[in-house]
């Protein structure tokens, strides 16, 4: 329990720049780390110190506990912020940081180790009287388990990895005949991608909305919710547009979601910033899905609405400070929307690494527009890491105003040399369904069936725009 | 005749799915490249036999890096 003086950010890309910004405000020194292909990233020059941690292969650099701990010791950093992805929810890494005498900016290692299992979280939620997606809370042992579950509850159902994430490890099953293959495929993917083959069963919720609650929890057991985020627009189970407030969450729903979140936080013994993810079925029921035990990509949306710097709160909580915000002090102002710009083909979503030959970023005033990124003209976009290039986040007093600001910014945003998903973002914002708030996780497939020509090009939905 | 299967995208070799001596058909998956966390299938353009595997898991690929030698 001590004030952080020198923070190592164990990550790459825009999130390093984001965390660095708060460190500057608080007078905390920043230690950055980099792999071979990242050695020329411009933010490394702005960090107080930067350490080389290994080759392109993330297993030997950004995912190497050993390499990052060595940089931590060499630099004398007294704390580690893991960002998102990579080692951010890895309890062994958190434990190693704490054991080395440094402060871990995240939930305690013992909590991370437990909530890593979705079945564990589903049991905890059930005990805390928080509804979960109907299904099993025990590991599926074989295909017969699936067939037995289906004979009672029917198809379609989904097989999910107990310790999966990032949209990987979800298999839909429609009949008995698919159970064996799906079970074997899931075990193989789980073992290969996460080192854990275990899976469990959920009933398929048709055309659900994905709604999550951002919260902060301190060591003393205080918990505040920073509102919900609607993240229903996804490609391959990965988010592409997020917004707050959700067009469908009424005041009573919000109170219920906040109550569920506080109960889950308490039951888990969670400390730090985090997110509880819920699914909303079309009959309006909410089901707890999973906890994201990290700072999330889409956190700026909640920061715009509440005026709270979530990274600053993370650092304060990690230092042992009590939350000085009470729920009744938090107001949710206006509307905020985030568009993720990925280095991908806008139709096939095939990755598009390369070099950014020309770049024109939208003008961010910090009031109506914020652009979080770590790119510049001439910089390489390596094929080894996540395709996220930038996040464009808008704020408006009304939802149409926020949409307008975001659309203008995306139209202004020019990247040459690689393909990006900017045309997809614009297509979504221009669609009638988006403007009326008719969102669900199958939104993009539905939109593409109307907007993509047979030759694979995107035709504008409104030719006049 | 020898035909070399090349990487069609840059990234890391996620896995090689054939062994030396295996018969492969045109269009068959022979390796997988991980590019920006997406797994992309590398397929053979011809019918043939795997003569030499030039890469292993986690090797860094550029576009057109040679991966597998086939005998047709």
**Domain annotation for chain B: domains and CATH numbers:** 2-71 (2.40.50.100)
Same domain as A318, residue A424: yes
Same domain as A219, residue A190: no
Residue of B nearest to A166 (CA): B37
Active site residue A432: no
Give me the CATH number covering residue A403. Answer: 3.30.470.20
Strand, coil or helix: what is A87? Answer: coil
Whole-number Å distance between alpha carbons of B8 and B32 = 10
In angstroms, what separates the C-alpha of B5 from chain A's closest C-alpha? Answer: 20
In angstroms, what separates the C-alpha of A235 from chain B's closest C-alpha? Answer: 13
What is residue A352's predicted lDDT score, i.e. its pLDDT?
Answer: 97
Domain end marker among A203, A228, A255: A203
Which of A55, A59, A353 comes nearest B35 by C-beta? A353
* Subunit contact A387:B11, Cβ cutoff 8 A: no
Helix (H) or strand (E) holding A97: helix A91-99
Question: Alpha carbon of A196 to those of A68, A160, A162, A191: distances in Å?
Answer: 24, 12, 8, 5
Whole-number Å distance between alpha carbons of A134 and A281 = 12
pLDDT at residue B23 tops 50? yes
In angstroms, what separates the C-alpha of B46 from chain A's closest C-alpha? Answer: 24
Q: ipTM for the complex? A: 0.93
What is residue A463's predicted lDDT score, i.e. its pLDDT?
Answer: 38
Same domain as A142, residue A59: no
* Subunit contact B36:A166, Cβ cutoff 8 A: no
* Subunit contact B58:A384, Cβ cutoff 8 A: no
In a domain, A238, yes or no: yes
What is residue A459's predicted lDDT score, i.e. its pLDDT?
Answer: 67
Residue of B11, B17, B36 for testing the chain A interface, max A β-carbons within 10 Å: B36
What is residue A170's predicted lDDT score, i.e. its pLDDT?
Answer: 86
In a domain, A462, yes or no: no
- Give me the domain span that covers residue A191: 134-203
Give me the CATH number covering residue A161. Answer: 3.30.1490.20
In A129-249 the beta strands, taken as DSSP E runs, fall at: 157-165, 168-173, 199-203, 209-217, 223-235, 238-244
Sites in chain A below the pLDDT cut of 50: 462-465
What is the CA A382 to chain-centroid distance, rounded? 21
The model's pTM is 0.94
Of the candidates A374, A447, A448, A434, the residue with the CA atom closest to the CA atom of residue A406: A434
Which range, of A16-30, A153-167, B12-26, B32-46, averages the lowest pLDDT? A153-167
For the segment A139-153, what is each residue's pLDDT rounded down to a tens digit? 999 999 999 999 999
- Which positions in chain A have a beta carbon within 8 angstroms of at least one beta carbon in chain B? 55-57, 59, 166, 343-344, 350-351, 353, 383-387
């Amino acid at each position: 329990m001590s004030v952080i003086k020198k923070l190592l950010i164990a990550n790459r890309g825009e999130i390093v720049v984001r965390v660095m910004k708060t460190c500057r405000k608080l007078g905390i020194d920043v230690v950055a780390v980099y792999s071979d292909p990242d050695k020329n990233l411009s933010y490394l020059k702005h960090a107080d110190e930067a350490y080389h941690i290994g080759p392109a292969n993330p297993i030997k650099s950004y995912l190497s506990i050993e390499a990052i701990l060595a940089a931590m010791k060499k630099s004398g950093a007294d704390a580690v912020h893991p960002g998102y992805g990579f080692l951010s929810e890895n309890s062994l890494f958190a434990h190693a940081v704490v054991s080395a005498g440094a402060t871990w900016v995240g939930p305690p290692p013992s909590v991370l180790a437990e909530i890593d299992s979705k079945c564990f979280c589903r049991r905890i939620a059930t005990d805390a009287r928080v509804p979960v997606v109907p299904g099993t809370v025990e590991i599926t042992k074989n295909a017969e388990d699936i067939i037995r579950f289906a004979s009672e509850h029917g198809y379609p159902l989904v097989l999910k990895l107990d310790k999966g994430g990032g949209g990987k490890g979800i298999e839909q099953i429609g009949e008995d005949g698919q159970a064996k293959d799906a079970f074997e495929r899931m075990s193989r993917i789980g073992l290969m991608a996460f080192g854990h083959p275990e899976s469990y069963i959920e009933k398929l919720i048709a055309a659900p909305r994905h709604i999550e609650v951002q919260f902060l929890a301190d060591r003393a057991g205080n918990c505040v919710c920073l509102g919900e985020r609607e993240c229903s627009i996804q490609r391959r189970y990965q988010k592409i547009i997020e917004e707050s407030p959700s067009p469908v969450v009424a005041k009573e729903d919000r109170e219920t979601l906040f109550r569920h979140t506080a109960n889950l936080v308490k039951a888990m013994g969670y400390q730090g910033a985090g997110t509880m993810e819920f699914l909303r079925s079309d009959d309006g029921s909410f089901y707890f899905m999973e906890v994201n035990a990290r700072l999330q990509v889409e956190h700026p949306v909640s920061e715009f609405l509440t005026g709270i710097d979530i990274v600053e709160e993370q650092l304060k909580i990690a230092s042992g400070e009590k939350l000085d915000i009470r729920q009744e002090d938090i107001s949710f102002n206006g509307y905020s929307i985030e568009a993720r710009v990925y280095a991908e083909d806008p139709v096939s979503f095939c990755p598009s690494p390369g070099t950014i030959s020309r770049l024109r970023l939208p003008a961010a005033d910090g009031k109506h527009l914020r652009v979080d990124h770590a790119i510049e003209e001439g910089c390489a976009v390596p094929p080894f890491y996540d395709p996220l290039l930038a996040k464009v986040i808008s704020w408006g007093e009304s939802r149409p105003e926020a949409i307008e600001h975001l659309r203008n910014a995306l139209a202004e945003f020019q990247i040459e040399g690689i393909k990006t998903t900017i045309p997809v973002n614009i297509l979504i914002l221009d669609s009638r369904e988006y403007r009326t708030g008719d969102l669900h996780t199958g939104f993009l497939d539905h939109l593409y069936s109307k907007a993509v020509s047979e030759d694979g090009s995107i035709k504008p939905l409104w030719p006049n725009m | 005749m020898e035909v070399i299967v090349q990487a069609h995208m840059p990234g890391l070799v996620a896995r090689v799915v054939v062994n030396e001596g295996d018969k492969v058909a045109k269009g068959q998956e022979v390796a997988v490249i991980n590019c920006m966390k997406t797994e992309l299938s590398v397929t053979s353009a011809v019918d043939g036999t795997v003569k030499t595997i030039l890469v292993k898991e986690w090797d860094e690929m550029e576009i057109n890096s040679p991966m597998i030698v086939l005998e047709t």
